[in-house]
Amino acid sequence: MKKLIPIISLFLISLTVSAQNTDSITIRKLFDAALSQQVDYNTLSYMCTHIGQRLSGSDNAEKAVVYTEAKLKEFGADSVWLQPCMVTHWVRGDKETASANSKKLNKKQTLPCCALGGSIGTGTQGLTAQVIEVHGLNEVQKLGIDKVKGKIVFYNGPFDPKFLDTFTGYSQAVGQRGGAAREAAKYGAVGVLVRSMTPNHDDYPHTGAMGYNDSIKKIPAIAISTNSADSLDAMLAKDADVQVTFRTTCQTLPDVPSHNVIAELKGTEYPNETIVVGGHLDSWDLAQGAHDDGAGAIQSMEVLRLFKQLGIRPKHTIRVVLFMNEEHGGQGAKAYADFAKTNGEKALAGIETDRGGFAPRGFSLDVTPELWNYLSQWKPLLADFNCGEFIHAGSGADVGDLKGICPVLGELYPDPQRYFDIHHSALDVIDEVNWRELEMGGASLAAFMYLLDTHGIPGMN
């Protein structure tokens, strides 16, 4: 028996090394195929240039549904279907205008701007009022109704550039965008301006979703570029009576029907157990939505294409979900989560990609400590392909609704340094996407999906 134990140990070590070698070879094939063919980039380029922006409820959003459904069939999915969902239908209207005027300084300053998603319009005559500056939601409460009533509130809380992960800076600043109008209206404000959510100093306004309290009067909200926010701040330092005029004609129409696009490769051993990978198909309307989230939607499709092309027949069912309306209500994610719960889906993981098509670093994972230790065994293997950095944090907005259904929730983690330069702005175009970085991200996603499928999750089978 004493001689047998070392022999068994050597045998198990040999099996482990053999499995790692097989994994490494397969992952290398995934990267080779992605980098040599550029299908990700070509597919994204077509969607950006021939369809363009994909605001939920728009004709372009529906064109994207038709296009990606056809591409998934072309890529060889075992099945493709459209899942109905009702989505928000907000329209921007005419090009927005804004300016600041100081009689004391004899100065008028144009403010590059855009309406925030979900905002009401000012009407064709526009809105003019004295502006008052704050640096966060709590400052409005401190000022109170006496100082806020009848004014336009200018939220100038900056995006802190000191965080190495720009998503941390964004998460700390974005609350003023979402709650700006709601909070200011409590104290009688007539409109709000919000500093754009970017660490850059430029003339590009960044849009994004905001919300109202239905029990409080709704007031119009716009974002202004960081350069114009700095200029307005400087004017107010010299003249507290600056007047701002802005005009928007945006409006929210009744919800309209749309679809999630879903495709599968059926599992050979566990067909009733799914591994979900996805991104959102909709985008804001200022640009082509190349990074947010055209890149993620196409990279998710690439997982299926690579598996099919390389003859990788998954043990579990690989399901690609292209979610509709992440940007403005998340109705697609809710529809899919309701479907999964109603049908008693047994799912190993929900993995999302919605951080842009930049060079991949690894994955952000929302898992138990035990599963963190288990998944961390793959870090050295993925590090060989520059995607082995794991972060024990949250998952994406769309797969987050699968909490309690999937033991593993996660998100592809690309390099975050440039994302908020272009996020929700007119700069989010295909020319800002590097084809190699995009293909590397698609291959990294496919590699992680391959490992999940091949090795499974403890307790699932």
Active site residues: 326
Of 2, 40, 13, the closest CA to residue 304 belongs to 40
Q: What are phi and psi of 244, to 5 degrees?
A: -120, 140
Give strand ranges (E) for 12-119.
Answer: 79-91, 97-102, 107-110, 113-115
Count CB neighbours of 319 within 10 A.
Answer: 25
Of 278, 282, 296, the closest CA to residue 87 belongs to 282
Count CB neighbours of 309 within 10 A.
Answer: 16
What tokens were used for 326?
A: 């992440």
d(CA 54, CA 34): 26
Helix or strand run (H / E) with residue 30: helix 4-37
Of 218, 224, 161, 211, the closest CA to residue 191 belongs to 218
d(CA 71, CA 301): 8
d(CA 230, CA 195): 9
Amino acid at 212: Y
Place of tokens 């990978």: 277
d(CA 334, CA 330): 6
Q: To 10 degrees, the CA torsion angle through 432, 433, 437, 440?
A: 160
d(CA 312, CA 328): 36
d(CA 34, CA 443): 6
Judge contact between 224 and 111, C-beta under 8 A. Answer: yes
Q: What is the DSSP letter of 48?
A: I
Q: Report CA torsion sign: 393, 259, 299, 446.
A: positive
CA distances in angstroms from 32 to 25, 62, 69, listed in the order given: 10, 33, 26
Helices (H), 38-165: 39-46, 59-74, 137-148
